[in-house]
Amino acid sequence: MNGKLHSETGAFSSDGMRAEILNPFVHKLELDNTYDKIKTAIFTVILLPFRVIVICYLIVNAWILAYIGLYGLSEEDLRRKPMTGWRRSLKPIICFIGKLSYLAGGMAITVRGRQASRQEAPILVIAPHSSFLDSCIVYATKMSSVIVRKESMDNYVGKLINYTQPVYVWRDDPNSRQNTIKEIIERATSKEDWPQVLIFPEGTCTNRSCLITFKPGGFYPGVPVQPVIIRYPNAMDTVTWTWEGPGALKLLWLTLTQVHSSCEIEFLPVYYPNEMEKRDPKLYARNVRDVMAKALGVPVLDYTYDDCRLIARAKHLGIPGAPAAREVSELRAQLGLSQSQPELQARCGGLAGEWVAREQFVQRLAAPAAAHAHAHRLFDIFQQRGSGLVRWSDYLLCAAFLSLQHAPLHHLVCIAFKLYDSSGIGRVSQANFEELATKCLGMCQEDAHHVFRQADFDEKGYITYDEFISYAQKRPELSFIFASDTAQQKPKSQ
């Protein structure tokens, strides 16, 4: 599922497929034709049970070996020194069983290139990260040490993960990032025979249409790294697990009901950093990403894990232009609008139903001539295909959301009330409230209608912002309006 983006900046596509291409956190997967549906139904009955039984049998055996190998070792022992002797000799057996479990599921793993030794490259850099099935890289790299959230140890594969002697991350610990970097540096520069450290520098799953920003944590040691790329060259992409798309169980079901699936792992030549890269981990990370993107034939895009959360929250709330929220933020910054917000300071009462043409839209942004291309791109994002116009309030809601993304939601609601106040005196009608609620509170129209009727207890036919807030403060289901962005409902974690 490789795509290419083209633009003057190299960051954004200029074609009309921005939502599918520019958002690397979206994956669409549907059984579109009758043949695929019938085939999947048949294999669900005759193939899936057999594969599940065999995979479970193999995983249980690998787990037992890991349990035996870890017997008598504490977590502190695993962090203090590398395994030796008979415990280490179990690793090739566990890796073999792990590869068999993928083969039992119909997935053949092909390895290209040569894995460098720890002396050549203490760190392996893996990308793109797009699936829970990427865990096959652990078996392909002879159980290299992974970087893993400590809470992941609570699941049934905890023993297998522990056997890699992982670097733990405590996401609730404010010093976790510094401690993780410190441990990576110690492992990479140690004279002891530790396993290579395996990192997914993107930090979250994408749809493989590009390589997003690499986190610099694995590049702080300044040692050589070996880039490793993963491909899934299958006719149907049943493995990609992103923030918006099929869940893990559906992907696993569809993968196990395919006759055959492929995974290609390619070891690229070791990357030796120069002195400038050793001093600047971010530069080192960017340059390694460029090498890997070139080998994959995909562009690089400066998205991050935080952008992933931003887009997911925007879609959850129903914000207009949500799939392109990251691009809108970038374009507004290039237009100088991100801080001053001149278009938000303008009178906004009664703009809910106002439609503007392209030139009028550009004029309202007060864009300089040199930046007109960015203003036209913004227009394209919010343009309604039928009319060729943009609803000005849609753009303003998205802009306000981006400007207030770390503030409690009621700040955005306050602006929305001004946008949808057609009276100009602080009143919002039922129809306008229902549209407001669906576009910045994530409500369906039926729920919005119910909330309005409850807030308008004296049946005036309108409500004010203060009346709505007074009502919302009494309703537990609306408490999210007063929470900061960190307390908002989050999508599935990776």
The pLDDT, as a whole number, for residue 296 is: 96
| Cα dihedral 234, 238, 240, 243 in deg (nearest 10) | 160
Residues in a beta bridge with 126: 228
Q: Yes or no: say if 184 and 217 are a contact pair by the CB < 8 Å rule.
A: yes
Question: Which phi and psi angles does 199 have, rounded to 5°?
Answer: -125, 145
| Residues 281 and 225 sit within 8 Å (Cβ to Cβ) | no
238-253: pLDDT as tens digits: 999 987 789 999 999 9
Helices (H) and strands (E) in the chain, counts: 22, 11
Give Dmax (Cα) for the chain.
80
The angle formed by the CA atoms of residues 299, 300 and 306, to the nearest 5 degrees, is 140
Assess whether pLDDT exceeds 80 at residue 489.
no
pLDDT at 490 over 50: no
User: Is a pLDDT exceeding 80 seen at residue 126?
Assistant: yes
Instruction: Output DSSP code: residue 457.
Output: T
pLDDT bracket for residue 172 (50, 70, 90): low
Q: What stretch of H or E contains 204?
A: none
Rounded mean pLDDT of 183-190?
92
Q: How are beta strands 145-149 and 167-169 bridged, if at all?
A: parallel
* 417-426 pLDDT, tens digit each: 988 888 778 8
Which pLDDT score, from 0 to 100, does residue 69 have?
A: 93
Q: How many CB atoms lie within 10 A of CB 75?
A: 12
Question: What mean pLDDT is reported for the chain?
Answer: 86
DSSP 122: S
Burial of 34-49, coded b for 16+ CB within 10 Å and e otherwise, reads eeeeeebeebeeebbe
DSSP state of 336: T
Domains of the chain (ranges; CATH) run: 18-303 (3.40.1130), 306-487 (1.10.238.10)
What is the pLDDT, as a whole number, of residue 302? 85
d(CA 211, CA 126): 11
Beta-carbon contacts of residue 110 (< 8 Å; ≥ 6 apart): 262, 263, 264, 265
Lowest pLDDT segment from 75-84, 151-160, 317-326: 151-160
Task: Please report which confidence band the pLDDT of residue 155 belongs to, taking 50, 70 and 90 as the band edges.
Answer: low
Total Cβ atoms within 10 A of residue 231: 18
Q: Which residues pair with residue 146 across a beta bridge?
A: 198
The pLDDT-based confidence of 370 (bands split at 50, 70, 90) is: confident
Q: 232 near 262, Cβ under 8 Å?
A: yes
